[in-house]
């Protein structure tokens, strides 16, 4: 028997020499993937899977709406919770947002003698951005969290499984009416927020800072167009559908136990808030581009 340490031996520490050399070559040329990179890839994969699951959930909800797999009484019940019970919170929010805008903007515009332009600036900001965004945020905190907690409780107590055993698609039956209620009522709540923001800013500008009312309203009529109001209502429509789907999805995918219910409500609000801001940015860029195409500036029209 030949010694494995002899020059002519074909073994090297119990392995054939070519295999050992190949192993050493591979180890030297392919270092292990860093732990941070593996975590980043895993996080990206988890986000992709979650988005895909959310879109499938949304398609099931929309198919339930088309097929009307829920009762009108359920839609009315949820509409009362979403709409009339949220009017007070939305109105107070819009009122004080308009007042705060007037107070903060007056000191800046007064130094350059443009305080009469506050009506145009504040109202355009409220109609296009602050009205729909704040109404959606308040609704996601008040109604979205409640939806997620309610559905999560139904998941924990196996009520959703009972609906499936009865031959009812729980996603279509439970998520469909909540989607419709938020889509239809959030634009109306946005109108309430816009009106109260207009009232609050007008009270501060006209009765506290004594700005000339004629020029105040003249600038507002000259700069605020119906397009601005339609943009705000369109954003509210998108925000309502998005936050309702996020809340229902988090409720259906709740973890077991009381902790899971609380976590589902928290995740519904946080994800809805971030999604509202991201969608608002995209819609702002899109609507500005559409407006520039439909009504190009005077300089571009002359050129």
Among 7-21, 28-42, 79-93, 245-259, the least confident range: 7-21
Contacts (Cβ under 8 Å, ≥6 apart) of 133: 235, 239, 276, 277, 280
DSSP for 221-265, written as a single string: HHH--HHHHHHHHHHHHHHHHHHHHHHHHHHHTPPSHHHHHHHHH
**Residue 109 confidence (pLDDT):** 84
Interatomic CA distance for residues 224 and 298, integer angstroms = 18
**Residue 18 confidence (pLDDT):** 52
pLDDT per residue as tens digits for the range 144-182: 999 999 999 999 988 988 988 888 888 989 999 999 999
Q: What percent of the chain has pLDDT over 90?
A: 47
Any alpha helices (H) in 86-225, and if so which ranges?
87-111, 118-125, 131-139, 145-156, 159-165, 170, 176-202, 213-223
**Residue 216 confidence (pLDDT):** 86
Mean pLDDT throughout 244-264?
91
**Residue 278 confidence (pLDDT):** 95
Q: What percent of the chain has pLDDT over 70?
A: 86
Backbone angles phi, psi at 235, to 5 degrees: -65, -40
**Residue 36 confidence (pLDDT):** 65
Yes or no: say if 139 and 186 are a contact pair by the CB < 8 Å rule. yes
Interatomic CA distance for residues 124 and 295, integer angstroms = 17
pLDDT per residue as tens digits for the range 79-132: 998 988 899 999 999 999 999 999 988 888 888 878 888 888 888 899 999 999
Cα 44–Cα 48–Cα 52 angle in degrees, nearest 5:
170
pLDDT per residue as tens digits for the range 217-237: 888 888 888 999 999 999 999
**Is 5 a residue whose pLDDT tops 70?**
no
Q: Which residue has the tokens 């609704």?
A: 139
**Residue 16 confidence (pLDDT):** 47
**Residue 99 confidence (pLDDT):** 93
**Residue 26 confidence (pLDDT):** 47
pLDDT band at 14 (very low <50, low <70, confident <90, very high): very low
Nearest to 237 by CA among 165, 287, 168: 287
Q: Where are the domains of the chain?
A: 70-294
Secondary structure element (H or E) that encloses residue 12, with its range: strand 11-12
Mean pLDDT throughout 12-20?
46
**184: its two tokens:** 């239809």
Query: What radius of gyration do the chain's Cα atoms show?
Result: 29
pLDDT band at 4 (very low <50, low <70, confident <90, very high): very low
Cα 185–Cα 191–Cα 133 angle in degrees, nearest 5:
80
> What is the biggest distance separating any 2 CA atoms in the chain, rounded to whole angstroms?
111
Yes or no: say if 38 and 31 are a contact pair by the CB < 8 Å rule. no
**Is 49 a residue whose pLDDT tops 90?**
no
**Residue 219 confidence (pLDDT):** 85
Rounded to a whole number of angstroms, the distance between the first and last alpha carbons of the chain is 95
pLDDT band at 296 (very low <50, low <70, confident <90, very high): confident
Q: Which residue has the tokens 């009307």?
A: 68
**Residue 69 confidence (pLDDT):** 81
């Amino acid at each position: 028997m030949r010694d494995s340490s002899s020059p002519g031996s074909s073994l090297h520490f119990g392995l054939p020499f070519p295999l050992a050399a190949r192993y050493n070559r591979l180890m030297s040329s392919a270092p292990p993937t860093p732990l941070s990179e593996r975590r980043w890839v895993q996080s990206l994969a988890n986000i992709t899977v979650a988005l895909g699951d959310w879109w499938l959930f949304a398609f099931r909800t929309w198919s339930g709406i088309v097929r009307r797999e829920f009762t009108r009484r359920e839609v009315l019940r949820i509409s009362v919770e979403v709409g009339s019970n949220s009017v007070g919170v939305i109105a107070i929010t819009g009122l004080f947002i308009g007042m705060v805008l007037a107070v903060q903007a007056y000191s800046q515009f007064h130094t350059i003698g443009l305080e009469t332009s506050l009506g145009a600036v504040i109202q355009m900001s409220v109609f296009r951005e602050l009205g729909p965004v704040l109404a959606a945020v308040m609704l996601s905190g008040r109604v979205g969290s409640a939806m997620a907690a309610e559905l999560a409780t139904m998941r924990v107590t196996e009520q959703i499984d009972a609906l499936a055993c009865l031959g009812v698609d729980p996603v279509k039956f439970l998520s469909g009416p909540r989607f419709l209620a938020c889509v239809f009522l959030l634009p109306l709540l946005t109108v309430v927020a816009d009106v109260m923001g207009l009232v609050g800013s007008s009270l501060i500008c006209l009765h506290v800072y004594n700005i000339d009312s004629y020029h105040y309203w003249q600038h507002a009529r000259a700069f605020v167009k119906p397009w601005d109001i339609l943009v705000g209502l369109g954003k509210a429509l998108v925000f309502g559908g998005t936050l309702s789907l996020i809340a229902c999805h988090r409720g259906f995918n709740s973890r077991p136990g009381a902790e899971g219910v609380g976590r589902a409500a928290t995740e519904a609000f946080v994800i809805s808030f971030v999604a509202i801001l991201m969608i608002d940015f995209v819609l702002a860029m899109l609507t500005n581009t559409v407006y520039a195409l439909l009504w190009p500036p005077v300089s571009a029209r002359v050129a």
